Amino acid sequence: MKYWKVTTVGLVVLILSGSSLLVLKGRRSVQKPIVIRAAVDADFRGSAALQYAAKKYRQRGAKYIWGTNDCSVFVSDYLLRLPHPPKTRLTTWNLNQVDVEPFGLTIEGSVKPGDVLNYRYRSRKRNELAGHCGVVVQKPDGLWVVHNCVSMGLAIQRLSSFYATAESLGVTKLEVTVLRPKK
């Protein structure tokens, strides 16, 4: 499958094609490996909760729809299949609150598989607060984050790249909240 995605980040142009990311700065270009890709069923192996959330995502049309099939809906579906599910659908605003205990979550300092990552930022497009969240998974080559994003739908991204995306929106690594579901 060949596809192109062109994104402008400041004066840098990112072109995503097939299996590589081409970074153009002025006349020079540097090729880097993709750090985000479409999620596949194998990414959810070993987690019935993630398999359920992915199934619900596909039932809703398998594309990002704000408020109906977005990142917080995906995370809410994931949490619904855990031992202490929230009683309501959560938004990134809910996940950003100091008291997340009522949602069956605790705030942690370190990241482990199964954790939910959440951050809030000022949207340049709408000039209002927006947010993004995803679920941490363990892959053979390290920690990754599964999330539903506008540009790709259900995607998986290296943890370091997820943090870099947050930083590109003005959010520091310390401002990304690590939420651990209660066992």
User: How does pLDDT run across 97-121, given as a tens digit for each residue?
Assistant: 878 888 888 888 899 999 999 999 9
**C-beta atoms surrounding 113 within 10 Å:** 13
Q: Strand order of the sheet with strand 129-139?
A: 36-38, 153-158, 142-149, 129-139, 116-122, 177-181, 105-108
Alpha-carbon distance 109 to 149, whole Å? 24
Mean pLDDT across 61-82: 93
Q: By the 8 A CB rule, do 161 and 35 touch? A: yes
Q: Find the Cα–Cα–Cα–Cα dihedral 174, 180, 161, 171, rounded to 10°.
A: -30
In this structure, how many other beta carbons lie within 10 angstroms of the beta carbon of residue 68? 10
Mean local confidence (pLDDT), 82-88 = 89
In angstroms, the first-to-last Cα distance of the chain is: 40
Amino acid making up residue 2? K
The confidence band for 163, taking pLDDT boundaries of 50, 70 and 90, is: very high
- The pTM for the full model equals 0.79
What integer pLDDT is reported at residue 53 of this predicted model?
95
d(CA 89, CA 68): 11
Average pLDDT (135-140) is 95
For the chain, what percent of residues have pLDDT higher than 70? 81
Supply the pLDDT for residue 143.
95
Cβ–Cβ under 8 Å, residues 120 and 131: yes
In the numeric block, the tokens 């990414």 are attached to 43
On average, the pLDDT of the chain sits at 81
With residue 78 as reference, give the H or E element that holds it: helix 71-80
pLDDT over 50 at 26, yes or no: no
Tokens of 111: 């990241």
Predicted pLDDT of residue 73 = 95
| Model pLDDT for residues 37-48, shown as the tens digit of each residue | 888 888 888 899
**pLDDT of 166 higher than 50:** yes
Give domain 35-181's CATH number out of 3.40.50.720, 3.50.50.60, 3.90.1720.10, 3.30.1330.60. 3.90.1720.10
Residue 8 has pLDDT above 60, yes or no: no
How far is residue 57's CA from residue 163's CA, in Å, rounded to a whole number? 24
